[in-house]
A and B are shown apart, each in its own frame.
Chain A
Amino acid sequence: NAGVTQTPKFQVLKTGQSMTLQCAQDMNHNSMYWYRQDPGMGLRLIYYSASEGTTDKGEVPNGYNVSRLNKREFSLRLESAAPSQTSVYFCASSDAGLAGTADTQYFGPGTRLTVL
């Protein structure tokens, strides 16, 4: 069991470039999440997906898009990167139910992104 995997581990972009962060989980979880972590800010939710085919905005969605490709995979896209998006990005998954029942979230190792 690999748990939650993320690619790439590190990325440097120039302002205006685009990229997609990939996330996959092998725990058969329904829900998946994207967070960003900035110094002194904790983790803040960007988008989440309660099930295949659904996505919802979190606290800081501006500048990002997501795709829930299938039950295993949830990608985060930056269409036109900005220096303010320099951050560490974490993907997580949980077995939270479609009815909104909460459960533990398990995290990937993170992607460290720098936008110049």
Chain B
Amino acid sequence: AQSVTQPDIHITVSEGASLELRCNYSYGATPYLFWYVQSPGQGLQLLLKYFSGDTLVQGIKGFEAEFKRSQSSFNLRKPSVHWSDAAEYFCAVIPDGGSQGNLIFGKGTKLSVKP
């Protein structure tokens, strides 16, 4: 079945440590890919997106993600995590050739940051 998978439900990292959040999808060859962040009680904020071109994309708040077609992955990274990064992170996909309504979300990864 077509899906967006975020294998890690909850990750805890120390402040200043590096971070990688995983996302895999099982849609067509070139989906549109997004990472959103949700702070507690808030709406979703776009961190970054990939439509085409350079497979390493830079986003806000020091985040980056790399599209790897061969692995059907779009992992989110940050070299040094800050306490304010504690939130829930969602990977989302518009499948290859999808219509306007076809934004499919993963189930999210909750990030906790230890002081």
Interface residues of A (CB under 8 A from B): 4, 30-31, 33, 40-45, 48, 50, 56, 58, 90, 92, 94, 96-97, 100, 102, 104-110
Contacts and interface: CB of A to CB of B under 8 A. Distances in A.
Interface of B: 4, 9, 32, 34, 36, 42-46, 49, 51, 90, 92, 94, 97-103, 105-108
Contacts of B90: 42-43
B103 A105 contact: yes
A108 B43 contact: yes
10 contacts: A31-B101, A42-B108, A43-B90, A45-B101, A58-B101, A100-B99, A102-B94, A102-B98, A107-B36, A107-B43
Contact of A106 (B9, B46, B98, B102): B46
Nearest to B105: A42
Contacts of B34: 104
A94 B100 contact: yes
B101 A33 contact: yes
Q: Which of B4, B51, B92, B105 has the most CB of A within 10 A?
A: B105
Given A48-B100, A107-B43, A110-B42, 12 more contacts: A40-B107, A40-B108, A41-B107, A42-B108, A43-B44, A43-B90, A58-B101, A96-B100, A100-B99, A102-B32, A102-B100, A110-B43
B103 A33 contact: yes
Contacts of A4: 43
Contacts of B106: 42
A48 B101 contact: yes
A109 B102 CA distance: 21
